Amino acid sequence: MTSRLLVDKIEGKASSGTIQMPAGHIIQTKYSSTDTKLASTSSAADVTLMTADAFTPKFANSHILIQLNMHFGWYNPNGGLQVVRAISGGATTYGIGDATVDTPYSGGDGFWVADEFVLANTSDDIYTIVQMGGCVIDTDHNTTSAITYSLRTTSSDTVYFNRQKQNATQGNARSSITLMEIAQ
């Protein structure tokens, strides 16, 4: 005999939205994207490439999985990519999920750090847009206040984001940040 449980809605006994899920379950997700084209104009500067919509964790001890889908034209990073966490009314933390390195690269550090990009500065590559993925996890946000996550570059060269190097009007891309709260 098969048992079935049919419900329209599950709510916490004390208040709505407080059901404790088993560890590893996804509690909520949020997707944010941008097709804004950027060519940073200053070298040796930290530049924000995109920012996700505010995300409010349901539990202070949960983990936030941050999935990045990024598009770049050719550039010479001499630095890296970082995830920045800003808690509403609280602290800003740079470098969520950064790679463990003895010293940061000359242009900066991050979860991805490099001297050269995957493309060469040749006549063909300057017209190309490359897709890159990244994934980091925020294990110590310790809040149920709204959090804003941003992707920034710590490059010492001009960065071409959501566009090719040579011509901003030829070629389009949409980059995104997907946030998933995971029960612990």
Low-confidence ranges of the chain (pLDDT < 50): none
User: Residue 160 falls within a domain, yes or no?
Assistant: yes
Alpha-carbon gap, residue 128 to 82, rounded angstroms: 23
Question: How far, in Å, CA of 83 to CA of 106, rounded?
Answer: 18
Which CATH number characterizes residue 171's domain? 2.60.120
- What is the reported pLDDT for 30? 98
Instruction: Supply the pTM of this predicted model.
Output: 0.85
Q: How many domains are there within the chain?
A: 1
Structural domain span for residue 163: 26-182
Q: What is the pLDDT of residue 41?
A: 67
Residue 6 in domain: no
**Confidence (pLDDT) at 5:** 85
Does any domain span residue 8? no
Domain assignment present for 50: yes
* Residue 16 placed within a domain: no
DSSP per-residue string spanning 3-37: -----S----SSSTT-PPPPTT-EEEEEEEEE---
Residue 162 resides in a domain: yes
| Residue 10 resides in a domain | no
pLDDT tens per residue across span 102-126: 555 555 667 877 777 766 666 778 8
Residue 115 in any domain: the answer is yes
Residue written as token pair 């463990």: 100
The total number of residues shown for the chain amounts to 184
Note the pLDDT tens digit of each residue in 147-164: 999 998 877 778 889 999
